[in-house]
């Protein structure tokens, strides 16, 4: 019970944070195209479009197309570049018509209208629903972390090319700082993910970790034989030395990334 207490608390913290985020609201797929941001000096900015506007329809001459996905709006804006079009939008439960002229040759990354759009809407859950949804999501994330970590470790020991990036204390601080700049929800999500990651890592059957010590306890229970204390001590010291060496290497890599 003592050995799994830390892992359990890591999981409980992740579960609590994710459940809280369900109460605050989480983005879910929808058939509504919402404006997430408006690029300065763009057709959208000139036309007066605002963050939070919901784009319902796209009209050219007498032809009106209902907009239900970001791909539809992007394709129509590109197709009718240079033409005067009308967007039907919802703003605070009020329907508005906005005249706009999409650009033929927009700057890279801005699109014809100069909008950042998404097909997601914020859905909030009750304090009764959130814990069960949070538990389900935490379990799903923990499983995903375990699977991906297992793949990473397998590629590491078989000297295969790594696709996943490993971050140490410096890298985690950098990622957490970036999440904090996105807002409290992004920061909480980062903390929840880190906590679930710690739960998975600490339960791994590796010397010096809780999982390694738990593996020895299970071995003693099954075999009914006590592990030699000297062997156990050497295993834990070797595992601890390996982990410290790995932290140093990863930290050096993180510092190099800071200057790149």
Do 155 and 243 share a domain, yes or no?
yes
Q: Which two tokens stand for residue 110?
A: 């801005």
131 shares its domain with 239: yes
Question: Are 171 and 144 in a shared domain?
Answer: yes
* pLDDT in single tens digits along all 260 residues of the chain: 899 999 999 999 999 999 999 999 988 888 889 999 999 999 999 999 999 899 999 999 888 999 999 999 999 999 999 999 999 999 988 999 999 999 988 888 888 999 999 998 888 999 999 999 999 999 999 999 999 888 887 887 777 777 777 788 888 998 899 999 988 999 999 999 999 999 999 999 888 899 999 999 999 999 999 989 999 899 999 999 998 998 898 899 888 888 87
Burial of 21 (0-12, 13-18, 19+ CB in 10 A): buried
42 with 63, same domain? yes
52 and 103 housed in the same domain = yes
**Same domain for 155 and 80:** no
State whether 138 and 214 are in the same domain.
Answer: yes
Domain end among 81, 106, 123: 123
Q: Are strands 94-100 and 26-38 parallel, antiparallel or unpaired?
A: unpaired
Cβ contacts of residue 31 below 8 Å, gap of 6+? 68, 69, 119
Residues 95 and 218 in one domain: no
19 and 146 co-located in one domain: yes
Nearest in space to 176 (alpha carbons), one of 165, 164, 166, 188 = 188
Same domain assignment for residues 140 and 251: yes
Question: Contact at 8 Å (CB) between 210 and 3?
Answer: yes
Give the total number of structural domains in the chain: 2
Q: Do residues 61 and 33 share a domain?
A: yes
Domain of residue 103: give its range: 28-123
């Amino acid at each position: 019970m003592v050995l799994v207490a830390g892992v359990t608390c890591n999981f409980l913290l992740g579960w609590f944070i994710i459940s809280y985020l369900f109460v605050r609201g989480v983005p879910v797929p929808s058939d509504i195209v919402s404006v997430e941001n408006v690029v300065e000096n763009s057709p959208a900015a000139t036309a007066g479009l605002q963050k939070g506007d919901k784009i319902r329809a796209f009209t050219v001459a007498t032809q009106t197309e209902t907009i239900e996905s970001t791909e539809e709006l992007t394709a129509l804006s590109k197709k009718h570049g240079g033409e005067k079009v009308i967007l039907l939008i919802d703003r605070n439960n009020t329907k508005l018509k906005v005249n706009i002229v999409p650009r033929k040759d927009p700057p890279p990354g801005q699109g014809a209208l100069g909008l950042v759009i998404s097909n997601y809407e914020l859905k909030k859950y009750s304090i009764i629903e959130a814990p069960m949804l949070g538990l389900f999501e935490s379990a799903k994330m923990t499983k995903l972390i375990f699977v991906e970590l297992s793949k990473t470790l397998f590629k590491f020991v078989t000297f295969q090319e790594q696709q996943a990036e490993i971050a140490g204390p410096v890298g985690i601080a950098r990622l957490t700082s970036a999440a904090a700049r996105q807002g409290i929800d992004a920061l909480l999500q980062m903390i929840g993910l880190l906590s679930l990651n710690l739960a998975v890592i600490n339960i791994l059957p590796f010397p010096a970790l809780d999982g390694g010590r738990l593996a020895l306890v299970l071995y003693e229970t099954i075999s009914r034989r006590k592990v030699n204390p000297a062997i156990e001590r050497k295993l834990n010291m070797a595992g601890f030395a390996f982990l410290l060496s790995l932290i140093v290497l990863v930290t050096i890599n993180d510092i190099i990334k800071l200057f790149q």
